[in-house]
Amino acid sequence: MKYEIRIEKLREKVIEKGFEAILLSDEKNIYYLTGFMWGAKLLVPVDGNSVLFVNSVNYETAKNFARNVEVELVKIGEKVEKRVLNMILERGLKSIGFDKMDAAEYQKMKNSLNGAKIEPLGEVLWSLRRIKDEEELALIRRAAALTSRGMSRALEVIRPGVREWEVAAEAEYEMRRLGSGGVAFDTIVCSGPESAYPHGALGEREIRDGDLVIIDIGAKYHGYCADMTRTIVVGEGTQIQKHILELVREAQKVAMNQIRGGVMARDVDYAARKLIIENGYGEYFVHGLGHGIGLDVHEPPTLGPLSEDILLAGNVVTVEPGIYIPGLGGARIEDTVLVTNERVIKLTENNE
Residues lying near Mn ion in the complex (CB under 5 A): 227, 318
Strand partners, 331: 323
Shortest distance in whole angstroms from residue 191 CB to Mn ion: 19
Closer residue to Mn ion, CB minimum distance, 194 or 227: 227
Closer residue to Mn ion, CB minimum distance, 180 or 318: 318
Q: CA 331 to CA 216: how far, in whole Å?
A: 11
| Residue in 56, 50, 20 with CA at minimum distance from that of residue 32 | 50
Q: CA 147 to CA 237: how far, in whole Å?
A: 26
Closer residue to Mn ion, CB minimum distance, 37 or 289: 289
Q: CA 234 to CA 192: how far, in whole Å?
A: 9
Shortest distance in whole angstroms from residue 230 CB to Mn ion: 12
Shortest distance in whole angstroms from residue 320 CB to Mn ion: 5
**Which residues have C-beta within 8 Å of that of residue 13, sequence separation ≥ 6?**
124, 127, 128
Closer residue to Mn ion, CB minimum distance, 72 or 335: 335
Closer residue to Mn ion, CB minimum distance, 81 or 320: 320
Closer residue to Mn ion, CB minimum distance, 205 or 291: 291
Structural contact between residues 189 and 162, judged by C-beta atoms closer than 8 angstroms: no
Closer residue to Mn ion, CB minimum distance, 95 or 318: 318
Shortest distance in whole angstroms from residue 208 CB to Mn ion: 26
Task: Return the DSSP state at 56.
Answer: G
Shortest distance in whole angstroms from residue 313 CB to Mn ion: 21
Closer residue to Mn ion, CB minimum distance, 174 or 334: 334
Shortest distance in whole angstroms from residue 119 CB to Mn ion: 32
Shortest distance in whole angstroms from residue 227 CB to Mn ion: 4
CB burial readout 164-190, b (16+ within 10 A) else e: bebbbebbbebbeeeebbebbeebbbb
CA dihedral 17, 22, 24, 29 (to 10 degrees): 50
Strand, helix or coil for residue 121: coil
Shortest distance in whole angstroms from residue 248 CB to Mn ion: 13
Phi, psi of 159 (to 5 degrees): -160, 165
Query: What residue is closest to Mn ion based on CB?
Result: 227
Structural contact between residues 21 and 88, judged by C-beta atoms closer than 8 angstroms: yes
Shortest distance in whole angstroms from residue 228 CB to Mn ion: 8
Interaxial angle between packed helices 80-91 and 103-112, expressed in degrees from 0 to 180 and rounded to the nearest 10: 30
Closer residue to Mn ion, CB minimum distance, 191 or 348: 348
